Amino acid sequence: MNKRLRIAGASVAIAAVLAVLGLVFPNSALGKIVGTINASYVSAALRFTVPIGFAALGGIFAEKSGVTNIGLEGHLIISAFTGVAVADALAGSGSATQTTLWLGFFAAVLASTLFALLFAVVCIEFKADQIIAGLAVWLIALGLAPFASKILWGGINSPSVGTLSNWRIPLLAKIPVIGPILFDANPTVYMLLLAVPLTWFVLNETAFGRWVKASGENPMALDTVGVDVHRVRYASVLISGTLAGIGGAGLSLGQAGLFNGSGATMVDGRGWIGITAYLFGNYNPLGAFGASFLFASLDALQLRLQQVGFSVPRELIGVIPYVTVIIVLVFVGHTRTPDAAGEPYESGEE
């Protein structure tokens, strides 16, 4: 834990030094890069954090309860697709209004939660291998979304349905610098900023949070005190599906306004980055958010650099989060997974 903090501290220090150097020499390459960092850059980075951050929060819930959900990528895909599909269907021949987009949003979260229910039944009731079942969840989504897109729209990409518009909070939005970042943002960004402390609070300060932890660390003890381990795990996995669902809908309806099913779909590994984010954050929602924001800002930075005229290949920047995680896993050491994670629990009475 200390090592992790030290690494985080060191990287912040290096970033600060680079920023100061960039400000001192505005005409150097570094200066140009630093020059691109402003309020709109930060708010873009926050928007990019939404799918990764929600996936990470969802992953924490499931894994803390003892069910490793590596199917988060699949949840993002399903909800990103459902959101657009429902909004498009409700809009009919006209264009989608904010109301239809919100209905699509809720349908997306519901779809992801139902998908999580399937995963929960398979893992908890039928004691499936969680890693294999998680892979299956991902692969089903990866096949189903483009398949359904083809049936609905004749191609693997959807038409554009528009995005949920920003919520601008009067007065507060006028505060310099942080106003445009924090108070004129997409609703999904507000949801994330609320969900992070809420998740932390639920996990650390409530009885349910203690059950979740016990269910992952020592399910037998939880059973002994009379709490149904299966129920706690079902609830946690459903919550993970709901959170990931908000992330997926945030990606398609909050940012892109369409669904793109080519390649690894528009989700493009964000669910996997979410997993790495919570590992990096050592199962702490605040840490996971920090890591998600870090990865998302790299993505945003890469877009900025291209606008300024630096041609850094997107793919090269794209590998940084993955390499970071590998380095963290190797040098910071093993992240301690909950003791009972991955193991089905059978109460003695059965």
Partner 1 sequence: MSSWQDRAEQGLSRLVEASAVERVLISLAALVMSIIVGGFVILISGWVATCSDPFLAQQVLISIPGTGGWGVQFPIPGSFCYNPIQVYKYLFVGSFANPQTSTLFPPDFILDKFSLAVTLRQTSMLLFAGLAAAVAFRAGMFNIGTQGQLVLGALGSALSVLWVAPYVPGGLVGSLILIPLGLVVGALVGGAYGAIPGAMKAYADANEVITTIMLNFVATGIAFVLVSEYFKNPASQTVETRPVPGAAVLSPIVFPSQASFSILVLVGALALAVGIYLLLHRTAFGYDLRTSGIQPEAAEYGGVDAKRTMVSSMALSGAIAGIGGTVYVLMILGRWQQGVPSYGFDGITVTILAGNNPLGVPLAALLFGMLKSGSLAIDFALGVPKQLVGVLRGLIILFVAMPEFFRMIGKRVTTPEPSGAVAADGGSRIEGGEDDE
Contact pattern from residue 266 through residue 295 relative to partner 1, giving x for each residue in contact according to CB under 8 A and a dash for the rest: ---x--x--xx--x----------------
Specify the stretch interacting with partner 1 by CB under 8 A; choose among 198-206, 232-240, 249-257, 308-316: 308-316
Q: Does 330 bind partner 1 (CB under 8 A)?
A: yes
Contact pattern from residue 49 through residue 88 relative to partner 1, giving x for each residue in contact according to CB under 8 A and a dash for the rest: ---------------------x------------------
Is the CB of 34 or the CB of 120 nearer to partner 1? 120
3-state secondary structure of 120: helix
Specify the stretch interacting with partner 1 by CB under 8 A; choose among 47-55, 227-235, 296-304, 310-318: 310-318
The one-letter amino acid at 141: A
Tell me, by CB under 8 A, how many residues bind partner 1.
Answer: 48
Residues 292/284, Cβ–Cβ less than 8 Å: no
Is the CB of 140 or the CB of 227 nearer to partner 1? 140
With CB under 8 A as the contact rule, the residue among 92, 170, 226, 331 that binds partner 1 is 331
Specify the stretch interacting with partner 1 by CB under 8 A; choose among 20-28, 195-203, 212-220, 323-331: 323-331
Q: Does 138 bind partner 1 (CB under 8 A)?
A: yes
Q: Does 238 bind partner 1 (CB under 8 A)?
A: no
3-state secondary structure of 71: coil
Q: How far is CA 146 from CA 24, 156, 199, 270, in A?
A: 50, 5, 32, 17
C-alpha–C-alpha distance, residues 16 and 31, integer Å? 13
Is the CB of 4 or the CB of 210 nearer to partner 1? 4
C-alpha–C-alpha distance, residues 56 and 73, integer Å? 10
Residue 255 beta carbon to partner 1: minimum distance, rounded to whole angstroms: 20
Q: Does 111 bind partner 1 (CB under 8 A)?
A: no
3-state secondary structure of 212: helix
CB-neighbour burial class of residue 1 (10 A; exposed 0-12, middle 13-18, buried 19+): exposed
Q: Which of 347, 345, 343, 337 is nearest to 129 (CA)?
A: 343
Residue with tokens 């041609």: 311
With CB under 8 A as the contact rule, the residue among 139, 178, 221, 308 that binds partner 1 is 139
Residue with tokens 């498009």: 88
Is the CB of 120 or the CB of 182 nearer to partner 1? 120
Within 65-175, residue ranges assigned H as helices are: 72-91, 98-120, 130-153
- Non-local (6+) Cβ contacts of 306 within 8 A are 312, 314
Q: Does 153 bind partner 1 (CB under 8 A)?
A: no
Secondary structure letter of residue 162 according to DSSP: -
Chain residues in the site for partner 1 (CB under 8 A)? 70, 122, 126-129, 131-133, 135-144, 146-148, 150-152, 156, 263, 269, 272, 275-276, 279, 313, 315-316, 318-319, 322-323, 325-326, 329-331, 333-335, 337
